Structure 1
Amino acid sequence: MTTALIADDEPQLLDELHQLLTEAWPDLAIVARAKSGTEARRLLDELRPDIAFLDIRMPGIDGLSLASLAPAGTRLVFVTAHPEHALDAFEHGAVDYLRKPLTPARLAATVQRLQQQGPAAAEKLRFLQAWTGNTMKLLEVDQLAALRSELRHTRALSQGGEQLLLRTSLGELMHQLDPQLFWQIHRGSVVNARAIERIERRDDGELWVHLRGLAQPLPVSRAHRGRFRSM
């Protein structure tokens, strides 16, 4: 059964989202409701739901900051009255960005998209493909160096210097990749652990990842430094 957490600091809107989700997806198990970002973070760590529906502006921790701290396996959907945060949301790997007030039709489209990412869609990818002009190019997932978010698209960078622009968000791709091998190091960057040549700690304390096939290293955000703490 697919599980979900919903978070909004306005009780009436939280109830409305719960009701609309129940109608649009009867089999979805809403395992937690949070009224603040701080509460949502605790519940995300404790329950690790499949999906989190997050408001942007919440007391304690805002939705975007919370997205950087969410478990890697949790898909994110933002539900907000603030359209100006859409770019940041997709850079955080959001599957969708819903505007308040919600409509049943718009939520139904999101539910359909999430359901298509079920067990069959979640099988580990072996190849990425994209059209360049009249030519379809294939890139073996094992040969990836990194994936970079570009709004609703993702740029795949190979260890051999090839690039593909994929019409899929980074958040969607992450659920089809092996989390033991593909590590998120920034809200818009995922790297292949097997492509890492070295980790550089600079004088200012910042961490940078050097990858095979990439001339420029990629920064590690503060939210993701814990992965490298024991290295």
Structure 2
Amino acid sequence: MPTAIIAEDEDLLRSELRRMLAECWPELEVLAECEHGADALEAIERLQPDVAFLDIRMPGLSGLDVAHAVSGRCHAVFTTAYDQYAVEAFAAGALDYLLKPVAKARLEQAVTRLRERLRLSETAPDIGRLMAELDRRLRPQVETEQRIRWISASVGDTIKLFPIEQILFFESDEKYTRVVSGEDEAHVRKPLRELVAGLDPEQFWQIHRGVVVRAEAIARARRDELGRITVELRGRPERLKVSQAYAWRFKAM
């Protein structure tokens, strides 16, 4: 019997998704319903479901954080009211991406993909190639969003321009985002979550809910006796903390 968890911070939407799943996939057993990202992560670790339906925006850890943290141990289907997260969701290994309010026909398509993926997992000892082919055929086509090339920031009566290739890291600072290059820094009036959508996820790694760092700028990552990871950058004095949700990036240590 296939199993799943549902992570959604709105009670009505969570109940509606469960009702629709019961109609589209009667044999699916929902093991847990979670309101927060941290609860979802704990439920996946404890219950080991086959599928996780994850809202992208949740208190604490986001659905993307949870998907990265579990690192493919279950199939992730994201639900969200915001289509700008699609590219990042598939980069996190999503099998599907459902826009709210979720239409029954669209959910049925996702269930078809999930059933096929689970069938292959049970019958093929080495399914890497088959899974890749299945994704190629069934995954919704998502256009790559236009990447940010410059960041402009006002400082008094001056506008500073930062070429994206010179930026070392972004750090959330209340209503602003701190932009730091090797030689300068400034604050922009745009939240970090919006900037992330225009960054290349291969070049810029999110290591904390409020920090995105250029991968090439990382000099080393240190783990203390409690398992907490801190990143050191080339040519900068900052020590950037890595949250548990993003510790998977440094598993090789």
Q: What is the one-letter code of the residue matched to 2:70? A: A
The equivalent residue for 1:89 is 89
Give unpaired runs (5+ residues) of structure 1: 130-146, 155-165, 170-186, 189-201, 207-220
Q: How far apart, CA to CA, are the structure 2 residues paired with 1:31 and 1:120?
A: 22
Residues 1:124 and 1:20: Cα distance change in structure 2 (over 3 Å): same
1:125 lines up with 2:126 in the alignment:
yes
Q: How far apart, CA to CA, are the structure 1 residues paired with 2:82 and 2:137?
A: 24
Where do residues 149-164 of structure 1 align in structure 2 (5 Å cutoff)? none
Larger radius of gyration: 2
SS at match of 1:117: helix
Task: Report the Cα offset of residue 48 of structure 1.
Answer: 1.1
The equivalent residue for 2:220 is 204
The equivalent residue for 2:61 is 61
RMSD: 3.0
Residues 3 and 50 in structure 2, CA contact (< 8 A), matched pair in contact too: yes
Q: How far apart, CA to CA, are the structure 2 residues paired with 1:120 and 1:101?
A: 30
Q: How far apart, CA to CA, are the structure 2 residues paired with 1:21 and 1:118?
A: 16
Task: Report the Cα offset of residue 57 of structure 1.
Answer: 0.4
Residues 1:16 and 1:86: Cα distance change in structure 2 (over 3 Å): same
Residues 38 and 61 in structure 1, CA contact (< 8 A), matched pair in contact too: yes
| 1:189-226, Cα deviation, whole Å (9 max, x unpaired) | xxxxxxxxxxxxx74338xxxxxxxxxxxxxx953256
1:4 lines up with 2:4 in the alignment:
yes
2:252 to 214, 224, 228: 228
Residues 38 and 60 in structure 1, CA contact (< 8 A), matched pair in contact too: yes
Q: Percent identity at matched positions?
A: 37
1:33 lines up with 2:57 in the alignment:
no
Residues 71 and 248 in structure 2, CA contact (< 8 A), matched pair in contact too: no
Q: What is the one-letter code of the residue matched to 1:228? A: A
| Length, aligned pairs only | 153
Residues 6 and 54 in structure 1, CA contact (< 8 A), matched pair in contact too: yes
The equivalent residue for 1:176 is none
Q: How far apart, CA to CA, are the structure 1 residues paired with 2:128 and 2:23?
A: 36
Q: How far apart, CA to CA, are the structure 2 residues paired with 1:121 and 1:10?
A: 32
Residues 121 and 127 in structure 2, CA contact (< 8 A), matched pair in contact too: no
Task: Report the Cα offset of residue 24 of structure 1.
Answer: 0.4
Task: Report the Cα offset of residue 70 of structure 1.
Answer: 1.7
Residues 1:168 and 1:21: Cα distance change in structure 2 (over 3 Å): closer
Residues 4 and 52 in structure 1, CA contact (< 8 A), matched pair in contact too: yes
Q: Specify which structure has the higher proportion of helix.
A: 2
Task: Report the Cα offset of residue 26 of structure 1.
Answer: 0.2
Residues 54 and 79 in structure 1, CA contact (< 8 A), matched pair in contact too: yes
Task: Report the Cα offset of residue 47 of structure 1.
Answer: 0.7
Residues 4 and 53 in structure 2, CA contact (< 8 A), matched pair in contact too: yes
Residues 69 and 246 in structure 2, CA contact (< 8 A), matched pair in contact too: no
Q: How far apart, CA to CA, are the structure 2 residues paired with 1:97 and 1:225?
A: 23
Residues 1:167 and 1:102: Cα distance change in structure 2 (over 3 Å): closer
Residues 45 and 71 in structure 1, CA contact (< 8 A), matched pair in contact too: no
Q: How far apart, CA to CA, are the structure 2 residues paired with 1:59 and 1:42?
A: 14
Higher relative contact order (CA 8 A, sep 6+): 1
Q: How far apart, CA to CA, are the structure 2 residues paired with 1:64 and 1:38?
A: 12
SS at match of 1:95: strand
The equivalent residue for 1:79 is 79
